Amino acid sequence: MNQAIEIKVPDIGDFRDVPVIELFVKVGDLVKAEDPLVSLESDKATMEVPAPHGGVVKQIHVKLGDAVSEGSVLMQFEGAGAGTAAAEPAQATKPSVSAPPSPVSAPAGLAEVRIPDIGDFKDIPVIEIFVKVGDTVRAEDALLSLESDKATMDVPAPLGGVVREIRVKVGDTVSEGSIIMALATGDAPAVAATAAPGAAPAVAAALAAPAAPAATAAATAAAASGGVDEAAFALAYASPAVRKLARETGVDLGKVRGSGEHGRILRADVEAFARTGGPAAPAARPAAAPAGGGAGLDLLAWPKVDFAKFGPVERKELSRIKKISGANLHRNWVVIPHVTTHDEADITDLELFRVQMNKELEKSGVKISMLPFMMKAAVATLKAFPEFNASLDGDTLVLKQYYHIGFAADTPNGLMVPVIRDVDKKSIPDIAREMGELAKLAREGKLKPDQMSGGTFTISSLGGIGGINFTPIINAPEVAIMGVCKSFWKQHSSDGKNWASRLTLPLSLSWDHRVIDGAAAARFNVHFANLLADLRRVLF
Ligand code: CAO
């Protein structure tokens, strides 16, 4: 006898009130055991609830956006299978995500690990993979390492399991949401589904999407669509069910623009793509960005010299950070019309004040160098010259109303630029303390992406080392950078008659001539120098 049976949300670990983001079935659909029914997505994980058994969908009790928890009734089934099977799902999803740093998608025993929120970073290369297929990992174990031009980041396992599949290789680039590997969790078998007697069908289904068995569909699709980019397919932000659908319908997932939250590709996106056969319109490129092929400079080839002909040499590969930051510096130098304006600030009084302040703070353990004062002076100057606290977006200038100041830090791995947020709201000792902490993290290679992003202006201080002037390279998309060298004593006179020795700080402001004019840059420096000469105007 056919009878209706309620399908409930299985055990989903500690998650509560998780929104339904996708419904894979409608009333009247005939589903098989383990077919995905709905997708739930919290801020940390995406979970597909599979059918515990086959049946016909009689009623659906949830709609997109509804928040559900373990035990919430999702739908009712009717069918022969429904009457006999247990009400509990065959294999409840158990993400057991205690403090998951990266989002997972867990279709009944198989968790797809994605790149977590890594700030504004995009297309970051994978530089190392710490695990191989078959390895057992615990939650928080490092899975792989990414390296941007500014930081190296380890991506930890969001939950424990056995590595079933690795979807990336060293050198691939990834962004937030890219799927990097699949972990067999809970009771799921550790070996390939086909070789494991009793492997959960959902596991097999999930694996079938990217694995070889789908080759026929993929090959047909490739022929029809001009070839599937497997690397882009593997990294697309989509659930296993959607990936499977893409394979079945011959859609190259890498070309589909996701309409879901954070660009997640939904079933409807794949269906629409399959219908129209074309990719969604490409995102508009900001006009300020350089053309992909560069400026097409027709330059002489780089000279190839056998240096060993002239004397002994040693070859040493550039560090990874240097290689990446070098590429960024090169782009910024070539694309931005840099001009550097030099000036000097009289910091005689400020230095006395700084020394006095350090005496008073001796017991607190905070030591204040010239840099925190320069940060404060920079903010006050940026407020007076807002176009320096801006970025170009095509023909539009985006004027920022916050003051996050980056500072260049010299580290054994290369140059890093940590950012101190809301400098306008912080005291000098607070800035000094935070700067010390960030500089330490930078030297240890432990800066997090959000500690290096969002800067609006940068100060590059070589004052602790030496130099008279230099040309700092603008840290795009910022439009100006203040370079500072070592202070020195200089005879100064304002009338040519009375002379005095003044401690003088050399300033080198590089600015983007597309945004800033020479007169504004000279005024900026004068304003900045005047503030340092009388910092009471900034501090009080
Ligand atoms: N003139 C004279 N002395 C200065 C000075 C200046 N402009 N700036 C700093 N000093 C002094 C400090 O007071 C300190 O003196 P004491 O040891 O006697 O107290 C000493 O130089 C060392 O300072 P510091 O470098 O430790 O501290 P800081 O706050 O000035 O700088 C940091 C911190 C992280 C910016 C710095 O250590 C650093 O890495 N600088 C290099 C940045 C760089 O590479 N820039 C080039 C990038 S290319 O565009």
Distance 462 CA to ligand 1 centre (A): 6
Ligand 1 atom nearest to CA at 407: 35
- Kindly indicate the confidence band of residue 45, based on its pLDDT and cuts at 50, 70 and 90: low
Distance 10 CA to ligand 1 centre (A): 57
Say if strands 3-8 and 73-79 run parallel, antiparallel, or are unpaired: antiparallel
Model confidence at 378: pLDDT above 90 = yes
CATH classification of the domain holding 415: 3.30.559.10
Ligand 1 atom nearest to CA at 442: 34
Edge-to-edge order in the sheet of strand 104-105? 67-68, 18-23, 36-41, 45-50, 104-105, 110-114, 179-184, 161-166, 136-137
Tell me what percent of the residues of the chain surpass a pLDDT of 70.
79
In a domain, 353, yes or no: yes
Domain count, the chain: 3
The verdict on whether 513 is a catalytic residue reads: yes
Domain span including residue 435: 323-538
- Kindly indicate the confidence band of residue 119, based on its pLDDT and cuts at 50, 70 and 90: confident
- Kindly indicate the confidence band of residue 459, based on its pLDDT and cuts at 50, 70 and 90: very high
CATH classification of the domain holding 43: 2.40.50.100
Query: Using CA positions, which residue lies closest to atom 34 of ligand 1?
Result: 409
- Kindly indicate the confidence band of residue 190, based on its pLDDT and cuts at 50, 70 and 90: very low
In a domain, 208, yes or no: no
Distance 33 CA to ligand 1 centre (A): 65
Distance 184 CA to ligand 1 centre (A): 50
Asked if 265 and 402 sit in the same domain, the reply is no
Query: Using CA positions, which residue lies closest to atom 9 of ligand 1?
Result: 464
Asked if 339 and 443 sit in the same domain, the reply is yes
- Kindly indicate the confidence band of residue 518, based on its pLDDT and cuts at 50, 70 and 90: very high
Q: Name the active-site residue from 53, 342, 513, 527.
A: 513
At residue 68, the pLDDT reads 92
In a domain, 38, yes or no: yes
440 in contact with ligand 1, CB cutoff 6 A: no
Residues in CB range of 51: below 8 A, 6 or more apart: 7, 31, 32, 33, 34, 35, 36, 37, 77
The amino acid occupying position 49 is V
Q: Are 125 and 171 in contact (CB under 8 A)?
A: yes
Listed residue (88, 109, 27, 104) closest to 60, CA to CA: 27
Asked if 267 and 401 sit in the same domain, the reply is no
Asked if 357 and 499 sit in the same domain, the reply is yes
CA distances from 241 to 46, 256, 371, 406, 522 (A): 12, 15, 54, 43, 60
Ligand 1 atom nearest to CA at 372: 29
Q: How far apart are CA 429 and CA 444, in angstroms?
A: 23
487 in contact with ligand 1, CB cutoff 6 A: yes
Among the ranges given (46-55, 286-295, 306-315), the one the predictor scored with the smallest mean pLDDT: 286-295
In a domain, 218, yes or no: no
DSSP class per residue in 436-463: HHHHHHHHTT---GGGSS--SEEEEE-T
At residue 99, the pLDDT reads 29
Asked if 272 and 357 sit in the same domain, the reply is no
Asked if 359 and 496 sit in the same domain, the reply is yes
pLDDT in tens, 306-315: 999 999 999 9
Asked if 246 and 343 sit in the same domain, the reply is no
Q: Which residue has the higher pLDDT, 217 or 366?
A: 366
Asked if 257 and 362 sit in the same domain, the reply is no
Q: Which residue has the higher pLDDT, 82 or 9?
A: 9
At residue 537, the pLDDT reads 72
325 in contact with ligand 1, CB cutoff 6 A: no
Asked if 385 and 269 sit in the same domain, the reply is no
Model confidence at 259: pLDDT above 80 = yes
At residue 103, the pLDDT reads 53
Distance 465 CA to ligand 1 centre (A): 6
In a domain, 415, yes or no: yes
Asked if 267 and 397 sit in the same domain, the reply is no
Domain termination site, one of 47, 79, 111: 79
Give me the helices (H) in 261-319, please.
267-276
Give the residues across from 23 on adjacent strands: 38
- Kindly indicate the confidence band of residue 400, based on its pLDDT and cuts at 50, 70 and 90: very high
pLDDT in tens, 473-509: 999 999 999 999 999 999 999 999 999 999 999 999 9
- Kindly indicate the confidence band of residue 159, based on its pLDDT and cuts at 50, 70 and 90: confident
Listed residue (58, 84, 83, 85) closest to 73, CA to CA: 58
Token readout for 427 is 């005291």
Q: Are 48 and 240 in contact (CB under 8 A)?
A: yes
Asked if 335 and 261 sit in the same domain, the reply is no
Among the ranges given (83-97, 180-194, 367-381, 458-472), the one the predictor scored with the smallest mean pLDDT: 83-97
Distance 371 CA to ligand 1 centre (A): 8
At residue 200, the pLDDT reads 27
Asked if 349 and 483 sit in the same domain, the reply is yes
Average pLDDT over residues 212-219: 28
In a domain, 343, yes or no: yes
pLDDT in tens, 73-102: 999 998 754 433 333 333 333 332 222 345
415 in contact with ligand 1, CB cutoff 6 A: yes
CATH classification of the domain holding 248: 4.10.320.10
461 in contact with ligand 1, CB cutoff 6 A: yes
Domain termination site, one of 48, 79, 110: 79
Average pLDDT over residues 423-437: 97
369 in contact with ligand 1, CB cutoff 6 A: yes
Domain termination site, one of 26, 50, 79: 79
At residue 75, the pLDDT reads 93
Q: At what angle do helices 348-360 and 518-533 cross, to 10 degrees?
A: 50
